[in-house]
Amino acid sequence: MSVAKPSFKKVILPHPAKETLPTMYDLPSEDPEEPGLPDEFHLWQPQLCSETFRPPNYESERVFVASDLNLYYDPKHTAWYKRPDWFAVVGISRFYQERELRMSYVIWQEEVRPIVAIELLSASTKDQDLGYSERTGEAPTKWEVYEQILAIPYYVTFDRVSN
C-alpha cells in the first residue's frame, strides 16, 4: 500500500522567520468590511465588566448587562441604533418581558436608559468612540447618542494600548 503525497507545496519560512515576517503588531487586527472582534481584548474585557458589575442597591435579576448588542434609541427613526462594546441597565429584568433573552435593547419599549456604556477603542472606531468624527449621514454619532440623546450618566472609553 502506498501513501499518497500531498499535492500542495510546503511553506518554507525565511530565516529567521520571527525577525523577518510581520508580527501581530504589524498586521491588521480588524477589517471594517468583516464583522467580528478586532482582538482578544474585545472579548475578555466585556466579560470582566459583566462579571464584576454589581450595583449595591439592585438584585442581580434587576440588572441587565450586554456586549455588542444593538441599542435602539429613537422612536422616530426605528432603524437607528448604536452597538456599545458593553453597557448596563439597572432596575429592569435581565430578560425581555421577564421571560426571554434579548435580541436587542429598545429604549422606547424599556423606558429605562443605560447607566453606563463602554467603548473599547480600536483603530477603526477610535475617532467615532471619542466623538471626533463628523456625522456621515442623518444619524447622530455615538457621542451624541450616549451623551446628549440618552444622557447616559457614565460613558467610558478605554484604549488598552495607552491605558
| Number of structural domains in the chain | 1
Is 22 part of any domain?
A: no
Instruction: Please tell me the predicted confidence (pLDDT) of residue 147.
Output: 92
**CA quadruple 115, 107, 51, 32: dihedral positive or negative?**
negative
Q: With respect to residue 2, please indicate whether it lies within any of the assigned structural domains.
A: no
Spell out the per-residue pLDDT of the chain, length 163, in tens.
555 554 555 545 556 655 655 554 555 444 455 556 667 777 788 898 999 999 999 999 999 999 988 999 988 888 888 999 999 999 999 998 888 888 889 988 888 999 999 999 887 788 888 888 877 778 899 999 999 999 999 999 988 878 7
Per-residue pLDDT, 136: 76
Q: Decide if 97 is inside a domain.
A: yes
Give me the pLDDT at residue 30, please. Answer: 46
pLDDT at 24: 43
What is the amino acid identity at position 163?
A: N
Cβ atoms of 45 and 158 within 8 Å: the answer is: yes
Residue 66 is assigned to a structural domain of this protein: yes
Whole-number Å distance between alpha carbons of 90 and 60: 9
Report if residue 133 sits inside a domain: yes
Is the residue at 44 inside a domain?
yes
Give a yes or no: residue 129 inside a domain. yes
Q: Which domain holds residue 61?
A: 28-158
In a domain, 10, yes or no: no
| Planar angle of CA 65, 62, 105, nearest 5 degrees | 45
